[in-house]
Amino acid sequence: MELKEIASVSGKGGLFKVIKPTRTGVILEALDEKKTKLLAGASQQVSLLKEISIYTTSKEGSYPLEEILIKINQEFGDELPVNSKSDTRDLYAFIMKVVPDYDEEKVYPSDIKKLVSWYATLSQFAPEILKKQEDDEVPEKAAEPEKTLKPTEKKVQKEETSEQPKATKKVAVKKATKE
């Protein structure tokens, strides 16, 4: 499972796995023991977790949620020092440790509570998302070194790649030399 397959629905608690889109909305399945299905229509706001980020004061302006979740997993594992019912000061101390340059004016305690709640759900029902997946990164294909051509071969190669056929060029050159 990937983060782009997980969604949050406004007005509904918890996270949902995207099953498939329909003409009028999207079919979702709750990420919990019950696995209840839900049809989210156009009137409900569905946000994919892959598209969510935390505001920062850096040049980029935000930090992707996926990277934050991975960082939390690396630092704390499955046991977080806070939960969604923790004191506001504890929540701010937690986010400060994870994202030191978060924007204090735009990140609210409710945002941090959602983050903590989502992390707990993902660690229980989709732990593979929280692990940094280096295997998925495909290294770029190394550029093949260009073989060294002799000056005459370079000229021939240029002629072959141009739009005019070779014969026409040669004729044009011969006419210019006869005059």
Distances from the Cα of 86 to the Cα of 90, 110, 130, angstroms: 6, 11, 22
pLDDT at 133: 53
Q: Is residue 137 part of a domain?
A: no
pLDDT band at 12 (very low <50, low <70, confident <90, very high): confident
- The residues facing 29 across adjacent strands are 17, 37
pLDDT at 60: 87
Do 104 and 126 share a structural domain? yes
On whether the CB atoms of residues 31 and 125 are closer than 8 A, the answer is yes
Q: CA-based Rg of the chain, rounded to a whole angstrom?
A: 28
Do 39 and 20 share a structural domain? yes
Distances from the Cα of 129 to the Cα of 12, 56, 74, angstroms: 22, 23, 12
Domain count, the chain: 2
> pLDDT per residue over 61-96, tens digit each?
899 999 999 999 999 888 889 988 889 999 999 999
Among 11, 31, 51, where does a domain finish? 51
pLDDT value at 177 more than 70: no
pLDDT value at 17 more than 90: yes
Predicted model pTM: 0.70
pLDDT value at 21 more than 50: yes
Do 113 and 56 share a structural domain? yes
CATH number at residue 12: 2.30.30.730
Do 78 and 46 share a structural domain? no
On whether the CB atoms of residues 131 and 70 are closer than 8 A, the answer is yes
Give the structural domain span for 74: 52-132
pLDDT band at 13 (very low <50, low <70, confident <90, very high): confident
* Mean predicted confidence (pLDDT) in 160-179: 46
Do 74 and 25 share a structural domain? no
- Rounded to the nearest integer, the mean pLDDT of the chain is 79
Amino acid at the residue 13: G
